[in-house]
Amino acid sequence: MKRRKYRKYALKDNTVFEPIVYDKLSFNLRNELDLFATTVELDDYDWMSYKLKAWLPTKAYGDIVIDFVYNGTSPCTMIIETKKKKYRFYFAIELFQEHIIKFLQKHIKHWDSKYAFSGTEEAVNFYNAVITHPKTESEDIETITREEALKRMAARRQKDMPQE
């Protein structure tokens, strides 16, 4: 099997983001009930603003939050928030369109399923498409302390998680 070449992102702090293989070995699952979460927000009130957010407990990068954002302009952004730092990637609108359509189609197909749709596989595929695309650009956003990062992630998870 031929390996696909891709561009590794060695950022200012030497962090390298590589594709994530979607299987149980790639994630830090504390137990079988450990949940992945995704949210999608489509807002066309004043200007198009579409967002897809995923929480992933990866082995390679620890717990990360990934935000994919389309604001009706080019380019789109992917923000990866780790416990210590945020990174921004700029990518083509076509990638966003392709992956948000796949996400929504699979979500709609799950309406009649007895299991909830997590969207994790689609979020991982979207992440992989962005970091492997030759025209994607990246930058470091900010460095934060571990304590501040944990507070932010806990507050965001509490705010953004679907309520029962």
- 86 neighbors 132 (Cβ within 8 angstroms): no
How much is the pTM?
Answer: 0.74
For residue 27, the 8-state DSSP code is B
Q: Where are the domains of the chain?
A: 9-143
pLDDT tens sequence across 28-79: 665 554 556 788 888 887 778 899 999 888 888 888 899 999 988 778 999 9
The string of pLDDT tens digits covering residues 87-113 is 889 999 999 999 999 999 988 988 888
Closest CA to 56 of 36, 33, 41: 36
Run of H or E including 89: strand 85-91
Specify whether the CB–CB gap between 26 and 58 falls below 8 A: yes
- Measured N-to-C along each axis, helices 93-109 and 120-132 cross at an angle, to the nearest 10 degrees, of 170
